[in-house]
Structure 1
Amino acid sequence: MLNRNTSVIIKFDFSTEQTVGEITKIVGLTKAKYLIPVIDSLDLEANPRSSKTGPVTDAIQESIETDPDVFPFKTKGILLAASQYERLDRGRVKVTPDNPNIEGILDGGHNALAIGLHILKKAMEHGEVSFPKGAKTWDEFKQLWQANRDVIDEYLDAVRKDPDIGSLNFYVPVELLVPRSADELASVEAFKNDLLEICAARNNNVQLQVSAKANQLGYFDALKSLMDKRNPALSNRIEWKTNDGGDIKAQDIIALAWIPLNLITPVKDTNGRTLEPVLAQNIYRGKGGCLKQFEKLMSSPEVTAETSGDYKRELENLEVGSAFKIAVELPELYDYIYAVFPELYNAAGGSYGRITAVKKLNEKRKDKRTPYTDVEIETISPEGFIVPLVYGLQALMEKYEDNGRSEIRWTHTPKIFLQNNLKKIVAHYAGIFSMCDYDPQKIGKNPQSYAQALAGFKMAIAGIL
């Protein structure tokens, strides 16, 4: 992690400068060996995506190995930003990033990872240290880099003494963004205000995901903090930041969060338009849309406010916060329904294992576990069968108002309610299966499925079922 006031010296060759408004861009080529301090000290916190190994990094490393002289003309290189800097002699610039959320490596994370891996592999090979196999995220690479930092220094010393050992003199294009005047507070603040948009725009060449920008702006922070407290193991599996290694997508959690969020008092977006609730069926079929609507919600001045200094927005709407407290319980409740649904469907007179979609799914998967809590089960289910029932939990929620304050809260303890009533609810809900030809896609996308499930919960509450 980048620490404030960490200084790094970048040595440019063939550099030029361009200044427009309050931003100066220094462009040049930097030899790979001079990027070692950059990799030591700077991180990808300012980059909306965390880089990881794959075909892109493999191609970069192959290009370095086979044609290092042409490499700088094949790549955009690395984009850096720092609010404090000092020009030194011999083409060197000393940079001191102040805020890791918006400064550091803004773009070119895969280049930084590939170049770092190239250097590390050469050093470990020279030091006869075994390089571990397998894909690596940026964080995993940095741990390996730091653990073998002395090996890298030994390799550099050996290369200086004997060029036949290897060379780290291939060039990498580097762009450095700095304020027009680091001594003027207004210039520095204007520079910082523009960095986040620059970063998002520069990453759009690979279609920056909405989740990446939402995470960058801090929109996931409150939800993640609550999830960390409730279920750290589950939270660690969620890919809050794109390419950060989690096997659960943030948009899956956000889609579920709309079940309680649909009950909040309507708020206006940044353009003054009232935000519409998310349609029930979109929790299954339109998770990308759920995420975009979440971004609009969290950018609303009625929901969040910009914090001082770090350019993130902090949750201030207590009603939304109360909905988040319910939202972090939903993955566990989802998995409870997921685990018992096959048995309850059979108890209602069905033959779950004979449904074509269920049969095919279970034939393909040997390791059968619940999606969120990773509990081993006998039968896995198509998501389209389960999501409407999870949506039905909304019947157990209410907006409670007292002395001008309101919150979303449970009217019943959900797990106990499910244990006592889910069998009856499933018997009521199962009628939708024949209407939709036992097709999980049709069931998951059909508004009637959600109405049926919600009605089942409400009838169970009323004692009708």
Structure 2
Amino acid sequence: MNPNTVIVRFETVAEQTAGPVRRIVGFAHARDLFGLLDSADLEANPRSAKAGPVTDSILESITETPETFVFKTKGILVGASSYEKLQRNRYRLSFENTKIEGILDGGHNTLALGTHILMRALGDNAIKRKIRTWSNFKDLWEEHRDEIEELRARKTSHDDYDADALDFLVPLEILVPSDLEDEESTEAFNSSLLSICSARNNNVQLTLETKAAKKGFYEVLRSALPKGIEKRVEWKSNDGGDVKVRDLIALSWIPLTKLELEDMPKLLPQNIYRNKGECAKLFDELMSRDDVSKATDGEYTREVYSKQVVSALKLAGALPKLYDKIYRDFPEAYKANGGKFGNINVVKIAGNMRTQPTTYFTEEEVDYSYPDGLIMPLVYGLKALIEVGDDGTVDWATDPEEFLDEHLAVIVRKYRPVLDAFRFDPQKVGKNEGSYDLIYDAFETQLERQSA
């Protein structure tokens, strides 16, 4: 959250304490939550808020029954590691670590509340159509700050005071340390905050990937990706990204399975295509190991420190671009071996399509659209180009892009019998273990010839 300090005022409030946590709970008028909306982000929330039926329903309740809205919603949950109790039911909250502090639950309520205030401030309900995600909302909130400040500045005694926009009550719950003077208690609070957050969000069935993102397991991979791809990934639920994080996690097992760590999970090669849920589950298990990651910010978030695993994840950052290269170049490699790619029944020619097909990760225009089951064995074959160093880290044995430029056509010639045998059925090709073994051997053979 930025700024890191905000003052909120309750209309009615009570405090409850259990163990290291103090709960400040009550009702707050919408007009007293502007500061929270000014500074709030959803980094601490495992899910990002996304406009849709849920926010539409909340907005309808605010508009049609503002007097009972407070009883129709669970409200907003906020966590802060430092606070000060002020006069007149006011509290000053300080957020020292926005990864675990801030809005922990109630992101959709916050988005709907902010959208309502924006519509009132601008006198334009159509602004709602521009808000699809939390980031859209924050951009518009900043863009129209003058109008929002004007609405905020209106006094209840003014003729233009908008009671419908500002007077309805919102349930607000704030979690803070029970004893700020006790370092042990404060540390226990920080350790419990994210587990509380996760438990609250479990009611909406968080995906395994969302929980892993919250734990910090994707940070190395995220930093290794080209910026253009990283921005397109839906790292947690409702982020709005076009690229699913489990697709990246599945690809990451290509270099991860080269590692020679003890008790490495066993993953069938075809599962990077047919069972991405298992890939995500095994990834979570691997990253949770003490020899791979260590606890930070209490026991919930973790930092991957194993140099072997880090090296594999850095290679994984290059795989989306290589995946797209294979997708783009495969048709020409097939045609170089006498095939007519456009005649394959699962292939669509760009010229016959209403929209221009593009590659999945980098959005480059391509001449054909076809299921990726046809190329997954080729993508897996890149594993043969990875070597293990004396210290157990992994790296490319050769430049993978240059290797593909030189050898892909030869490899596709060896691949052709598999495609013919399965009649180019992408499901059968992509789910058959033999397809992957054959292509891995083909990559390995070409690498040996190149190195000879």
**1:355-434 equivalent positions in 2, closer than 5 A:** 355-359=344-348, 366-401=355-390, 405-434=391-420
**1:120-139 equivalent positions in 2, closer than 5 A:** 120-125=118-123, 131=127, 133-139=129-135
The separation in 1 between residues aligned to 2:46 and 2:352, in whole angstroms, is 38
1:361: how far off? 9.8
- Are residues 296 and 241 of structure 1, via their aligned partners in 2, closer, same or farther at CA, if it must alter by over 3 Å? same
Letter of the structure 2 residue corresponding to residue 214 of structure 1: A
Deviations 1:54-101 (A, max 9, x none): 221122111111111222222111111112122233322222222211
**1:30-429 equivalent positions in 2, closer than 5 A:** 30-125=28-123, 131=127, 133-158=129-154, 160=156, 161-162=158-159, 165-167=162-164, 168-227=166-225, 231-267=226-262, 274-307=263-296, 312-359=301-348, 366-401=355-390, 405-429=391-415
The separation in 1 between residues aligned to 2:60 and 2:269, in whole angstroms, is 48
Q: Which moved more, 1:417-426 or 1:344-353?
A: 344-353
Q: Which residue in the other structure is 1:2 paired with?
A: 2
The separation in 2 between residues aligned to 1:333 and 1:389, in whole angstroms, is 10
The separation in 2 between residues aligned to 1:163 and 1:16, in whole angstroms, is 33
TM-score (norm 2): 0.92
1:19: how far off? 2.0
Letter of the structure 2 residue corresponding to residue 155 of structure 1: L
The separation in 2 between residues aligned to 1:451 and 1:20, in whole angstroms, is 57
1:117–1:141 contact (8 Å) kept in structure 2: yes
1:289: how far off? 1.8
The separation in 1 between residues aligned to 2:112 and 2:65, in whole angstroms, is 15
- Are residues 362 and 248 of structure 1, via their aligned partners in 2, closer, same or farther at CA, if it must alter by over 3 Å? farther
Unaligned regions of 5+ residues in structure 1, if any? 268-273
Q: Which residue in the other structure is 1:270 paired with?
A: none
Q: Which residue in the other structure is 2:443 paired with?
A: 457
The separation in 2 between residues aligned to 1:130 and 1:74, in whole angstroms, is 25
- Are residues 396 and 377 of structure 1, via their aligned partners in 2, closer, same or farther at CA, if it must alter by over 3 Å? same
1:346: how far off? 3.1
2:271–2:431 contact (8 Å) kept in structure 1: yes
2:377–2:435 contact (8 Å) kept in structure 1: yes
2:273–2:431 contact (8 Å) kept in structure 1: yes
Deviations 1:332-378 (A, max 9, x none): 11111101212222333433323332249996662211111211111
Percent identity between the two aligned chains: 45
- Are residues 382 and 361 of structure 1, via their aligned partners in 2, closer, same or farther at CA, if it must alter by over 3 Å? farther
Tell me the SS of whatever aligns to 2:428: helix
1:174: how far off? 1.2
Q: Which moved more, 1:441-450 or 1:87-96?
A: 87-96
Tell me the SS of whatever aligns to 2:388: strand
2:191–2:298 contact (8 Å) kept in structure 1: no
1:315–1:321 contact (8 Å) kept in structure 2: yes
Letter of the structure 1 residue corresponding to residue 83 of structure 2: Y
Q: Which residue in the other structure is 1:438 paired with?
A: 424
1:361–1:382 contact (8 Å) kept in structure 2: no
Query: How many correspondences in the alignment?
Result: 448
Letter of the structure 2 residue corresponding to residue 385 of structure 1: L
The separation in 2 between residues aligned to 1:110 and 1:139, in whole angstroms, is 13
TM-score (norm 1): 0.90
- Are residues 159 and 91 of structure 1, via their aligned partners in 2, closer, same or farther at CA, if it must alter by over 3 Å? closer
- Supply the RMSD in Å over aligned alpha carbons: 2.4
Tell me the SS of whatever aligns to 1:406: coil
The separation in 2 between residues aligned to 1:311 and 1:346, in whole angstroms, is 52
1:119: how far off? 0.4
Letter of the structure 2 residue corresponding to residue 411 of structure 1: A
- Are residues 278 and 201 of structure 1, via their aligned partners in 2, closer, same or farther at CA, if it must alter by over 3 Å? same
1:178: how far off? 1.4
The separation in 2 between residues aligned to 1:364 and 1:187, in whole angstroms, is 62
The separation in 1 between residues aligned to 2:354 and 2:182, in whole angstroms, is 61
The separation in 1 between residues aligned to 2:128 and 2:71, in whole angstroms, is 31
1:421: how far off? 1.1
1:396–1:411 contact (8 Å) kept in structure 2: yes
The separation in 2 between residues aligned to 1:313 and 1:26, in whole angstroms, is 28
Deviations 1:401-438 (A, max 9, x none): 1xxx2221222221111111111111111222233242
Letter of the structure 2 residue corresponding to residue 157 of structure 1: A
1:251–1:291 contact (8 Å) kept in structure 2: yes
Letter of the structure 2 residue corresponding to residue 450 of structure 1: Y
